[in-house]
A and B are shown apart, each in its own frame.
Chain A
């Protein structure tokens, strides 16, 4: 029995995980969400900004991390538009250029935001370090035109924005090392306030920066999206996903416990 359990075909586990996700999806279950302090700090910071403030959003994730970061991006940007906070989007990753553009357009259409007045999208420029440092001097030295090719001088929103001094917060939505780049080159050098929304895989690496206040807030993966949706009172994909997630987590915890029990029994039998 123990032998069988230890040599279980991994495909059975895949089927169990698939069922743990598919069944709750069909049943449309909902669990309550508790908001953690790092997500609340991000929300509080944005909530405290007066109308007309400016947030720069870095869409630094590709399609493989879209599931975790798109719901978060949607919630935060919607909150900004509601508060009449201006949003400047950009990316340091080539594969994220279209994702960021589509996301801003979708949320703007929902919130009634106007391109050029309430938001602008600068797109992608290669060379992350040079981009981050260059924007500290002059944003238009790096992005002379927006993603659609319109000169920044022709975009009303950019008229009074020269560099980070006019940007009240940078929100980095990241699946890689970009948050560390923002901290290293933008927070350290220009004292720019930074918040981050990152994938579950890298969130553990970000907590030290939160503790030292190099990050004003941190949102962890789909959980961060669900928490932010709760804070703005607009449950969406993040909230739905986290309810389903709980079933998959219960299964994983159960399998880990079962695997450990079987391992220790087998070891004792061996002795």
Chain B
């Protein structure tokens, strides 16, 4: 059984890599198979790990054990069912209610936490090392890093500040910001290359080791 699995995986790997030559039926077969299996797997798992424990089981228990308080679950389930109102064109407007609740709750949960995690903490992280410089806790190299980071933050933010024309001092600072952005993009590109090559290495290892037994 395991041998069949290895052969199927090897054939599908080759089907997918055949796209590098040109689009072809083998590639499309493997692609459609992947999409179909992913969706089927996702639906089954979401049913067993989401719908059953959170919706079906509590309702069933409420009815069979006559714990009527469990029927309160009908409220969120009913709101969720309204998502399907879109399937009936004349009742499509009902979908606005679950969307409104979803956006309202999502925003309420996200805004304060995102503000703290991504803005306040980051501003604090940029400025806090200056207190350490003042206290004489950092080496010269670390001080250089702290100053460089502040220059990077200010110049990059200036680049994205479009309310003032980028001329003179503002233009000069925003050009420094471009340099920092380019370094950032270069770092992201380098890491992406590493990630993509890792995927190829794993597939080559599978083909040479598990399938062909060459290594």
Binding site for B on A (CB under 8 A): 11, 14, 17-18, 21-22, 25-26, 28, 64-68, 94-95, 97, 123-127, 129, 133, 144-145, 180, 183-185, 187-189, 199-201, 203-204, 208, 211-214, 220-223, 237, 240-241, 244-245, 248-249, 252
Q: How many angstroms between the C-alpha atoms of A151 and B117 in the bound complex?
A: 34
Contacts of B38 in A (CB 8 A): 95
A-B contacts besides A184-B110, A249-B197, 9 pairs, CB < 8 Å: A67-B199, A94-B45, A126-B50, A133-B109, A185-B109, A220-B191, A221-B191, A222-B194, A248-B200
Which 4 pairs across A and B sit closest by C-beta, in order of nearness? A200-B195, A67-B202, A212-B125, A200-B191
The answer to whether A188 touches B117, judged by C-beta atoms less than 8 angstroms apart, is: yes
Q: How many angstroms between the C-alpha atoms of A252 and B196 in the bound complex?
A: 12
Residue in contact with A204 in the complex, picked from B116, B118, B191, CB distance below 8 Å: B191
Residue in contact with B200 in the complex, picked from A21, A144, A237, CB distance below 8 Å: A21
Give A207 Cβ to nearest chain B Cβ, in Å.
Answer: 8
Give A166 Cβ to nearest chain B Cβ, in Å.
Answer: 22
The answer to whether B214 touches A94, judged by C-beta atoms less than 8 angstroms apart, is: no
| Chain B residue nearest to A62 in the complex (CB) | B38
The answer to whether A68 touches B198, judged by C-beta atoms less than 8 angstroms apart, is: yes
Interface residue B21 (Cβ < 8 Å from any Cβ of A): yes
Given the known A-B contacts A28-B215, A184-B110, A204-B184, are A245 and B198 also in contact in the complex, defined by CB atoms under 8 Å?
yes
The answer to whether B116 touches A188, judged by C-beta atoms less than 8 angstroms apart, is: yes
Q: How many angstroms between the C-alpha atoms of A10 and B202 in the bound complex?
A: 22
Contacts of A183 in B (CB 8 A): 117
B:85-123 near A, CB below 8 Å: 106, 109-110, 113-114, 116-118, 121-122
Contacts of A14 in B (CB 8 A): 20
Contacts of A222 in B (CB 8 A): 194-195, 198, 201
Q: How many angstroms between the C-alpha atoms of A22 and B121 in the bound complex?
A: 45
Contacts of A200 in B (CB 8 A): 191-196, 198
Given the known A-B contacts A26-B215, A95-B38, A241-B201, are A125 and B49 also in contact in the complex, defined by CB atoms under 8 Å?
yes
Residue in contact with B187 in the complex, picked from A204, A241, A252, CB distance below 8 Å: A204
The answer to whether B191 touches A201, judged by C-beta atoms less than 8 angstroms apart, is: yes
The answer to whether B117 touches A252, judged by C-beta atoms less than 8 angstroms apart, is: no
The answer to whether B193 touches A252, judged by C-beta atoms less than 8 angstroms apart, is: yes
Q: How many angstroms between the C-alpha atoms of A168 and B191 in the bound complex?
A: 30
| Sample of 12 A–B contacts (CB below 8 Å) | A17-B200, A25-B205, A25-B215, A68-B199, A97-B49, A184-B110, A200-B191, A204-B187, A208-B122, A212-B121, A222-B194, A249-B193
Given the known A-B contacts A133-B109, A184-B113, are A201 and B197 also in contact in the complex, defined by CB atoms under 8 Å?
no
Q: How many angstroms between the C-alpha atoms of A250 and B41 in the bound complex?
A: 39
The answer to whether A214 touches B117, judged by C-beta atoms less than 8 angstroms apart, is: yes
Q: How many angstroms between the C-alpha atoms of A187 and B121 in the bound complex?
A: 11
The answer to whether B191 touches A241, judged by C-beta atoms less than 8 angstroms apart, is: no
The answer to whether B197 touches A21, judged by C-beta atoms less than 8 angstroms apart, is: yes
The answer to whether A248 touches B205, judged by C-beta atoms less than 8 angstroms apart, is: no
Q: How many angstroms between the C-alpha atoms of A201 and B194 in the bound complex?
A: 8
Q: How many angstroms between the C-alpha atoms of A59 and B113 in the bound complex?
A: 23
Contacts of A249 in B (CB 8 A): 193-194, 197
Give B188 Cβ to nearest chain A Cβ, in Å.
Answer: 4
Give A3 Cβ to nearest chain B Cβ, in Å.
Answer: 24
Contacts of B113 in A (CB 8 A): 184-185, 188-189
Contacts of A189 in B (CB 8 A): 113
Contacts of B215 in A (CB 8 A): 25-26, 28
Interface residue B124 (Cβ < 8 Å from any Cβ of A): yes
Contacts of A248 in B (CB 8 A): 197, 200-201
The answer to whether B117 touches A126, judged by C-beta atoms less than 8 angstroms apart, is: no
Q: How many angstroms between the C-alpha atoms of A4 and B205 in the bound complex?
A: 34
| Chain B residue nearest to A133 in the complex (CB) | B109
Encoded as 1 (CB less than 8 Å from any A CB) or 0, chain B from 24 to 51 comes to 0000000000000010011001100110
Q: How many angstroms between the C-alpha atoms of A65 and B198 in the bound complex?
A: 9
The answer to whether B116 touches A67, judged by C-beta atoms less than 8 angstroms apart, is: no
The answer to whether B49 touches A123, judged by C-beta atoms less than 8 angstroms apart, is: yes
Q: How many angstroms between the C-alpha atoms of A61 and B53 in the bound complex?
A: 23
Interface residue B72 (Cβ < 8 Å from any Cβ of A): no
Contacts of A184 in B (CB 8 A): 110, 113-114, 117-118
